Amino acid sequence: MGATNQNLDADVLVIGFGKGGKAVAATMGRLGKRVVLVEKSDRMYGGTCPNVGCVPTKALVHHSRKRRPEDSPQEWYERSVGEVQALTKLFRGGNYDGLNGMDTVTVVTGKAAFTDPHTVGVDTADGHLTITAETILINTGSEPIILDIPGLRASQYTVTSTDLIETTVLPGRLAIVGGGYLGLEFASIYGQFGSQVTVLETAPKILGHLDDDVADVAEGILADEGIEIIAGANVTEIRDGETAATVVYDKDGRQHTLEADAILAATGRAPATRDLALEAAGVRTTERGAVEVDEHLRTSRPHIFALGDVNGGPQFTYISLDDSRIVLDQLIGEGKRSTADRVAIPHTLFITPPLATVGLTEKQARAAGYRVKIASQPVAEIIAMPRAYIVEDTRGVMKFVIDADTDEILGAALLSVDAQEVINTVALAMRHRIKAAELRDAVYQHPTSTEAFNDVLATIVRTDEPKAVGV
């Protein structure tokens, strides 16, 4: 492209190189449609997952667990970060070449902003580009939230998750503000690399959305690994010193302080919509700043769709991929797929061992008025699951919540080795309304983690009457 203004016409314009957008771009390109994909950063081809999300963080989980006591924490960490960055570079290049290598698809690097409902202006290194498209997909993802705590944003010691996984210096003392999934995953990773980790969570306890019996086991595992978790802590100020920061927080009506070499802001991610000039396109956003969409992911402008984190839905790569199926069904299919089709979507907290959940907790099921049966067993006591002993990690618990009237599984929490894999089987069973007895009596490969179902689902411990619902 020249160094001046250029115009480009497309059948489909995708803004943001995330999972959902790239899937639609590739499919439409293969069908011969003229596709343009705009990504503002040359370090984000492929989106959050392969660059700053799932792939590097889970790779760091793997590397952190390989460190032996005799290995220098700093040297091991620096080498691990280098290997992980090489992996993300490989994935990034593959994503770029896979799309830009298609005759019908053009990848443009630059910042995009709407000028009208069908037109986007992009500032690139080679000049300004005006792109007009019949169909537009917004796939810009999300960005870390840094709370407006005095001194936090200004502190030279504050890092986002993206900053932290790219630094080659292992923090001696890491303070994590936020005890959600992101905060706990990073606590587990950096604690294992050798950092002294403190997690500060405002809620009365971590993992409060789970049943207490599961949350308590998870918290115990983290505590046994040396991670300090301070729940009910309200961070009030960050003060920078010459070599470290002081974190000031209130707990139980008293003020406390701790010193930290790095402070990870782990208080969630917000849809990345700020610089898109959505108002110029007439695209509405929600109060949280997400692009407002219907069940088919159409925005207030029917020819504009929003996929992935930016539409305010669950912030998971596999949801973004499913978003692409819904959009493609609108563009080239029967138009029947919708977000309402999603049932029993699992998710996993990648501590070690991982904590995978799907469906309702016991407290949610009771509140909804179900008569429930509970099947629960500590991993160390599951005779049918020798894999946990083989890989030398018998920590954790498996719990199922079952409808006492139908024997269908309402939900499960699996805190165990391989839980991130096994949960998919449970979710599939739930979607197809397979009875708990069928899972219990199935024949599973040995030795695997799935065969734990043979034991755990034979431990029904209680049946309760439902609580009164409504008046």
Q: Show the tokens assigned to 114.
A: 């709407």
CB 427 within 8 A of CB 336: no
Q: Which of 234, 307, 301, 269 is nearest to 37 (CA)?
A: 307
Q: Measured between alpha carbons, how far is 113 from 280 in angstroms, rounded to an integer?
A: 9
Closest by CA position to 109, among listed 16, 18, 7: 16
Active site residues: 446
DSSP code string of 293-357? --TT-B-SSTTEEE-GGGGTS---HHHHHHHHHHHHHHHHS-S---GGG--S--EEE-SSS-EEE
Nearest to 394 by CA among 446, 347, 353, 443: 353
Question: Helices 317-332 and 19-30 meet at what angle, rounded to 10?
Answer: 30
Helix then strand count (H, E) for the chain reads: 14, 22
Neighbouring residues of 388: CB distance < 8 A, sequence distance ≥ 6 = 379, 380, 382, 394, 396, 416, 417, 449
Cα separation, 82 vs 85, in Å, equals 5
Contact between 71 and 65 (Cβ < 8 Å):
no
16 in Cβ contact with 24 (< 8 Å): no
Query: In angstroms, how far is CA 407 from the centroid of its own chain?
Result: 31
Q: In sequence order, which residues have a C-beta less than 8 Å from that of residue 19 and are 6 or more positions away?
A: 46, 47, 49, 308, 317, 320, 321, 324
